Structure 1
Amino acid sequence: MPLLSQEPHVNHGRLEDLYDIQQKIGDGHFADVNLCVCKRSNKKYAAKFIMKQRINTGLHGSSVSDIDREAFILANLQHENIVNLHEVFYREDSVVLILDLVTGGELFARVADCERLSEEEASNFVQQILLGVQHMHGLGIVHLDLKPENIMIEDLASRKIKIIDFGLARVLNPNESFQDMAGTPEFCGKRIHIFNATGKG
């Protein structure tokens, strides 16, 4: 298994000096995603603002170690079916990940809009998802929250899949088990309550 050694690029500059932060395009429990434009290249990206956990103030958020893990995993995942991390900004109250801009919406919404897919289209989407997962597992990385909302289409004219949101992802060494509650409750099977150790998933 390849050794993960690629550290994310940390930009020590001021985010607002380098990017024009525009409208919010997504949100989660402890993160908001905004459209942003690089002032130097005029290229569009997605800026994921992850709120830091503040134990002393009681404010909810993600621990810096969890955010660091997500950034490290993304930095080591270079694959056409996985969202790409470009750089990271550390701020007083948040960490900001600059990611590929994915504008085509969720795969689930695309399927719902079409009502039905041809066998060719369906097999194409499934193949891309499996290629992304195969790449992760080949590096010892498990996503742990793979669900319709985290499988996106690159843009409206594209059929390219992008797997996003590695906030729960972990790196597992060979023969190592993972024993924890992870994932989105709505997508967890009943047996999750047994709380057994699991392998890759």
Structure 2
Amino acid sequence: MRVVIAEDSAILREGLAQLLTIRGHEVAATVVDAPALLAAVTTERPDVAIVDIRLPPTHTDEGLRAAIRLRREAPGVGVLIFSQYVETSFAAELLAGGSDGVGYLLKERVVHLDEFVEALTRVAAGGTALDPEVVTQLFGASRRRDQLDALTPREREVLGLMAQGRTNTAIAAALSVTDRAVEKHVANIFMKFALPPSEADHRRVLAVLRYLHG
């Protein structure tokens, strides 16, 4: 394989390069930021790129954004996200065009080097390598979106006002409906969010949290 590595940690970057070289693969370039990654892929045309999510300058999501761009502009290059974090929104976008030639592994969960190289080889060949934890979190994010999609427009309005901290009476006044109507909408929200009565949890707060996360 010809490999490009985008990783801002010098120890991990050079360690990966040595690991792959020892095993007979060619490391075409090692870079520390997203612009250098895009340039290296354009110049070197590797089989696969190993990309960390959080790259300079902001160390937020530059790597994942670059990976999404690579999927669009260099579809023949496999992309393996290798990170400590699961970014569900961008990960879903990364997989939106199909799972061929895509991988997402979590650094702390790779315990055998052979498994890592095998996953990288699979991605380079057009296959898929996803950590089970990534799949679990993607499924959870998708389920939250599905729950929000299940709400009626009026229920969304009610939940939006709940997120502002308004009481049922204040919500009723804002929407020009009765308190009873608001109570019914709130009950429907709890039901669709699968939030049964509980002494330990405040359902209103939990519903608002799901609304904000969604």
Same fold (TM over 0.5): no
Normalization by structure 2: what TM-score?
0.24
TM-score normalised to structure 1 length: 0.25
Structure with higher RCO (Cα < 8 A, 6+ apart) = 1
Task: Identify, as 1 or 2, the structure richer in strand.
Answer: 1
- Larger Cα Rg: Structure 1 or Structure 2? 2
